[in-house]
Amino acid sequence: MQHVDVHPISLDRLASLLAPVRALHLAMAAERARIDFSGRVMWHVNATAKGGGVAEMLTTLLAYGRGAGVDTRWLALDGTPEFFTITKRLHNNLHGYPGDGGPLGDAERSIFEEVSAANLAELRRLVGPEDIVLLHDPQPAGLLSGLQDAGAHVVWRCHIGCDTSNEMTQQAWLFLRPYLDVAEGFIFSRKSYCPDWVPMERMRVIPPSIDPFSTKNSDLAPHRVRAVLHRAGLVTADTSPPGDLSFIRRDGTVGLVREHPHLILNGNPPPPLEARLVVQVSRWDRLKDMVGVLRGFAEHLGEMPDDTHLMLVGPAGEGVTDDPEGAEVLSECEAEWWRLPEAARKRCHLVRLPMDDVDENAHLVNAIQRQARVVVQKSLAEGFGLTVTEAMWKARPVIASAVGGICDQITDGQDGLLLDDPQDVDAFAKHLADLLPDDRQCAAMGSAARAHVQDRFIGDLHLIQFGELLSAFSAPDRV
């Protein structure tokens, strides 16, 4: 297993953003956590240390936990390609989609259990009696009973799901339930994601959150945004824009944005610095429907202002170990791009951000989202769209599908726009065409979006809920 470094961050940093009463609640929760978890380790186990929303959240939540005086540690699974193909299938099925259409039978269960057993052997050497373990999503579910046998308290956290049950979700739960039945606690992002066999007294709903001070979300002045994007080769300008190219890494050291001549694929020239930029940032995942965004934008290009460009941004495929579909979906996007007329290709840009430096990657995403005129997230399914919340925090208007957790994030017409049907590219394009030239609406919607995130999706609420839940589930005298 991979031991992921967790660098402590003082809760004072987060408290500086909060109203006094809210900051006091955070301080009181931290004090209780220090008492409740004294002498015990809180372990988090997930599939990967980088790439995707779970790793994104753990990076900062665990840092704040350690900064609060709780011994918080992070492990990422070792797995085979076959194992991650199965867990990606489970991921898609829990969203209600067939994914690659493959089975979840005895052969798949054998592979899943073999990899789980190998990871468990190492984990049991590390985890002590009365330690607390949070297992995130389907990948580590097979570790649960073995950790409980070792005396640990184990909670399963599911970041994905579907509001309605269908054949696919039933297949996934049938596969997972034998590993999860004995969990002391369950955490879901929405109540509707919880299957009916989970006892309600063991279930909590905790929506995800962002850290406003992380490299991906910290404030960047416009001149720095322009300088960063130009340096990375993501925009063109007549002269090199002046601006600070440094960023703060999660360990507190300073990094510098590198030159990247080939982030935009197929030799396509970068968009002009002053272009109206439409951006979607996500994994190369079929459920994010990057191909649909590209097609919908290109087919309605004549309805957009003449200076509008689209940028689809995802990770370099080799950097995300638990997502075997990534390379295939990127290839599908490239094939769709080549089918576009030349004039449309020049205004549509496929970007692969490097994953060899996760902090530089986060800094580039920050700059791209801030440069965007409009951010879109046309997902077919979404447990919770962290990229939606990130863009809203940056006061950008967001057009997103009315699916899953996105419905909790956006109030339609107030702090963003929702697509009732994610497949309706005409409605998607109309929202874009109406919003792009309207400076007043963009500003008002962006301002309301930031306020909404401040109220509901900042990390203090997440940390307090985690602490209360784990204290309740791991107390010696609990019922």
Q: Note the pLDDT tens digit of each residue in 135-170.
A: 999 999 999 999 999 999 999 999 999 999 999 999
Instruction: Determine how many CB atoms are found less than 10 A away from the CB of residue 262.
Output: 10
In terms of domains, do 53 and 190 share one? yes
| Same domain assignment for residues 171 and 247 | no
Write the single-letter amino acid at 109: R
Say if residue 178 is in the same domain as residue 270. no
**Backbone CA torsion sign across 49, 52, 58, 64:** positive
pLDDT in tens, 87-113: 999 999 999 999 999 999 999 999 999
> The domain containing residue 283 runs over which residues?
222-456
Q: Domain total for the chain?
A: 2
Q: Do 79 and 115 fall within a single domain?
A: yes
214 falls within a domain: no
What are 254-259's contacts with CB under 8 Å, separation 24+? 255/357, 255/359, 255/360, 255/363, 257/228, 257/231, 257/232, 257/360, 257/363, 257/364, 258/231, 258/232, 258/357, 258/360, 259/231, 259/232, 259/233
Q: Could you give the percent of the chain with pLDDT greater than 90?
A: 90
**Percentage helix, strand, coil, to 5, in the chain?**
45, 15, 40
Domain shared by 198 and 325, yes or no = no
* Pair (394, 447) in one structural domain: yes
176 shares its domain with 316 = no
Residue 216 within a domain: no
Predicted TM-score (pTM) of this structure:
0.92
Whichever domain contains 436, its CATH number is: 3.40.50.2000
Kindly report, residue by residue over 247-262, the tens digit of the pLDDT.
999 888 999 999 999 9
Within-domain flag for 291: yes
Q: What is the average pLDDT score of the chain? A: 94
The answer on 240 and 375 residing in a single domain is: yes
Q: Is 51 left (phi over 0), alpha (psi -120 to 50) or beta?
A: left
Question: Does residue 215 fall inside a structural domain?
Answer: no
Judgement on whether residues 94 and 36 belong to the same structural domain of the protein: yes
Report pLDDT digits (tens) over 280-323: 999 999 999 999 999 999 999 999 999 999 999 999 866 556 67
Bridge-partner residues for 399, per DSSP?
376, 417
Same domain? For 468 and 450 the reply is no
The model's confidence at residue 232, banded by pLDDT at 50, 70 and 90, is: very high
Task: Please indicate, yes or no, whether residues 250 and 182 belong to a single structural domain of this protein.
Answer: no
In a domain, 217, yes or no: no
Q: Look at residue 479 and tell me if it is in a domain.
A: no
Q: Are residues 188 and 277 in the same domain?
A: no
Tokens of 426: 């005409």
